[in-house]
Structure 1
């Protein structure tokens, strides 16, 4: 599995995929990324240290992802991220967090001592689909609630049961309320959630213009950031 890459197009940055403790929720119907979680802290610290050693600071920005939230990274790994940021001239960090940690975001910002852009897996702003189908356990009803805490939502498209109207609304809300966003085309995995190929074809055609939008990154494959498996 690749765990380090340099993104050179939109929002240039280094990106690392680290290991963390189990996700605070871990029951999303579409997610099997939790297989990358661990309870072996020594093993996680060793692996994460090897990956972080590759960070050069060349872009001045580092994105750190794991199969969950940044708060689930071992304390030693968080300390190493902070040290590397100082030593290698990192001016901004990108972290991911579940909605359940929304009251702790400023805590991590203060700890790191540099600006942090927080991503959140919204998946969709359609509350019914997000909670009843995807089982996201994120109880917000309006995008404004998310924007109060987070900087960059990640939405998924191309899921069976999703509609064109839902996708249209989600992308409008990302553009209206957030400076940055990510759109991820759902890829079939080991869960029961399935891709809708016709909806994906429609999205790729209808939203081809997103390729040129500097504020939205589109992942047509879940490894398009150059990390993962």
Structure 2
């Protein structure tokens, strides 16, 4: 499991994969990344500190990810990150958050006092597919509501049962409503969710232009950010 890397293409930044308490939701049907957490808080604190010591401040931007949301990281880890923000002159942070924490994002803003781009795993704006098939646990009226809270979203592409019309609408909303975005091409993992190669090939033929979009990152492989193992988040 690789825990530290550099993202050098779009929005250059350092990225770390930390350990936290279990995900607040924890029911997503496509996710086996949830196993990368621990209820041993003291162990998480020490583990995370060793990873964070690798941060150099090279790009003045740092992304923190874990198998859930930033709110599940130990407070001691958050305090250590804050010390790094100061000592390494970090000017921007990227954090992940489940939709359920949408009303608490200001707590992180107040704590770190630097701009934070919060990323939310929406996966798709199709309500039934998102909540009945993917079991995401995110209920909202549409992209405008999501954009009130999050500048960045993550979409998931390439699952059997997903349609081209769903994906067209998802990408339309991504480009219209959000400043940043990440499109994750589904990697077959240990869950029962199946990868749709035909749909992925269609996406490549029609949406490879996203690779040229400044603030849209397409993860054709789930380790394209340089962290993690061959599993899907």
Deviation at 1:107, TM superposition (A): 0.8
Deviations 1:170-211 (A, max 9, x none): 001000001110000011111111111100111111111111
- Three-state SS of the structure 1 residue aligned to 2:202 is helix
Query: 1:217 & 1:4 partners in 2: Cα distance?
Result: 18
Match of 2:77 in 1: 77
Q: TM-score, normalised by structure 1?
A: 0.99
RMSD of aligned residue pairs (Cα, Å): 0.6
Identify unmatched segments of 5+ residues in structure 2: none
Query: 2:53 & 2:32 partners in 1: Cα distance?
Result: 27
Displaced runs of 4+ in structure 1, greater than 4 A?
Answer: none
Deviation at 1:141, TM superposition (A): 2.5
Match of 2:62 in 1: 62
Number of aligned residue pairs: 229
Query: 1:161 & 1:195 partners in 2: Cα distance?
Result: 10
Query: 1:228 & 1:5 partners in 2: Cα distance?
Result: 10
Match of 1:25 in 2: 25
Identify unmatched segments of 5+ residues in structure 1: none
1:62-141 matches, cutoff 5 A: 62-141=62-141
Query: 2:194 & 2:94 partners in 1: Cα distance?
Result: 29
Deviations 1:15-41 (A, max 9, x none): 000000000000001111111010111
Q: TM-score, normalised by structure 2?
A: 0.97
Match of 2:170 in 1: 170
